[in-house]
A and B are shown apart, each in its own frame.
Chain A
Amino acid sequence: MATLSTTRVKIAGLAACVPRRIEENIDLPIFASREEAEKTIASTGIERRRVCNDGVTASDLAEKAVVRLLADLGWSAESVDCLFFVSMTRDYLAPQTACILQGRLGLREDCFVMDLPLGCSGWVYGMSVATSMMQTGQFRKGLLICAETNTKNRSPKDRSVRPLFGDAATVTALEYDAAWDKPMNFVFGVDGKGWEAVHMKFGGMRHPTTVEALQEVEVEPGIVRKGTDMVVNGMDVFSFAIRRPPASLKELISACSIDLESVDYLLLHQANKFIDEKIRRSLKLPPEKVPYCIRDFGNVTNASIGLVMVVQLAERLRGGMCHCLACGFGVGLAWASMEFTAGHLVCSELVEY
């Protein structure tokens, strides 16, 4: 089992930006009936989602969140040593969006910047990469952006995805602190044989975009999409998500001898309520230890763990220390779990775009 521990890097602040536009699931024209809409809402726990206007990208949402967080932290753009942009909805195939953001945010030219094209496991993977690079103290201040415009690469005529996914960006500010004695502990997992459960077939090098790939096709009633749209095979994702994340968390708990009683919060990737509640129950955690923001924001993929902290735990994180577990899981198939402690954070009010 591969585990990773990083030390001397703490979370200094958190911010999130979501589009102002709200889409209500109950009103969606893609359901066969109002009853079907109600059943879907009851089972997923998702009532509404934030949706970007045309022309707004993940980096636009991210920029707003970063500007706000730097101001609230009192950090100058020049003080940032490294920036990680976790996203599967980058601005261009080339260059990486992190480069563009360096210019737009006015970060130093010797700043280390990097895109990490990860989905729902992205915050946890991103934290492992960022804190690993920062723990020697050569990079003292870092920004981990998790930003996704899921409504842009999914079909609005696909009822298996549209009611689930929303858009959001989060930024986690990280700081080297030689006196910080609370390690972050990670375990990882990947099942590349299961990659087709969530994928976009066309638009990469394996299947370049063709005219045919841009034609809408009715895959089954209620599911109309283009070859360039994200395919989410619900049943395969579900059977993955009820098995791997609980096992991963149990692996972390055992490897790091974590006393579950001492855990204040389990921060789950907000997939849907049905899945997340199964994970919560399999760890026998009470509901108050597993916060949700899924009702009003839906599944915002890699931004979900940051968003639930900003929306539900801001007061708590501004105050005393919280001992947390987090688990991200999805496209890849990839998953990762982590243990961390955070507190006395600068947690910005939710920013709207």
Chain B
Amino acid sequence: MDINTFIDNFAGQFDDTDRSVFTAETKFREIDEWSSLIALSIIAMVDEEYDVTLKGEDVKGAETIQDLFNTVQSKKQ
């Protein structure tokens, strides 16, 4: 798994936030556009792209995109 691809996929769920805003260290809940609907899109994206099922607590427990990436990676193993 590649973190940069993951950030691209993550950023792809946002309509109004520029890609340049997103880094591994981005605290995604602090992005203005973040919403519960985007959280669902992220779960769907991870299901489609990585074949991993995230639960609500996985998303809630992650602070940065890197955190979520780590969760997906550990669930994939």
Interface residues of B (CB under 8 A from A): 35-37, 39-40, 43-44, 47, 53-56, 59-60
Q: Give the interface segment out of A230-238, A333-341, A342-350.
A: A230-238
Q: Which B residues are in CB contact (< 8 Å) with A39?
A: 35, 37
Q: How many residues of A contact B (CB 8 A)?
A: 15
The reply on A207 being an interface residue by CB < 8 A is no
Within A15-49, the residues touching B (CB, 8 Å) are 36, 39-40, 43
> Is the pair A243, B37 in contact by a Cβ cutoff of 8 Å?
no
Can you list 24 A-B contacts with CB-CB less than 8 angstroms, sorted by A residue number? A36-B35, A39-B35, A39-B37, A40-B37, A43-B37, A43-B40, A233-B56, A234-B36, A234-B39, A234-B56, A235-B36, A235-B43, A235-B60, A236-B55, A236-B56, A238-B44, A239-B53, A239-B54, A239-B55, A239-B56, A242-B47, A242-B53, A243-B47, A278-B44
Give chain B nearest CB distance to A41 CB in angstroms: 11
Chain A binding surface SS class: helix
- Bound together, the chains give a CA A36 to CA B37 distance in angstroms of 10
- Bound together, the chains give a CA A242 to CA B41 distance in angstroms of 11
- Bound together, the chains give a CA A160 to CA B60 distance in angstroms of 16
> Is the pair B40, A234 in contact by a Cβ cutoff of 8 Å?
yes
Q: Which B residues are in CB contact (< 8 Å) with A43?
A: 37, 40
Partner of B36, one of A160, A236, A242, A278: A160
Give chain B nearest CB distance to A138 CB in angstroms: 44
- Bound together, the chains give a CA A160 to CA B37 distance in angstroms of 10
- Bound together, the chains give a CA A238 to CA B38 distance in angstroms of 12
Q: Which B residues are in CB contact (< 8 Å) with A243?
A: 47, 53
Kindly list 5 other residue pairs between chains A and B, CB separation below 8 angstroms, not including A234-B36, A234-B40, A239-B53: A160-B36, A238-B40, A239-B47, A239-B56, A242-B47
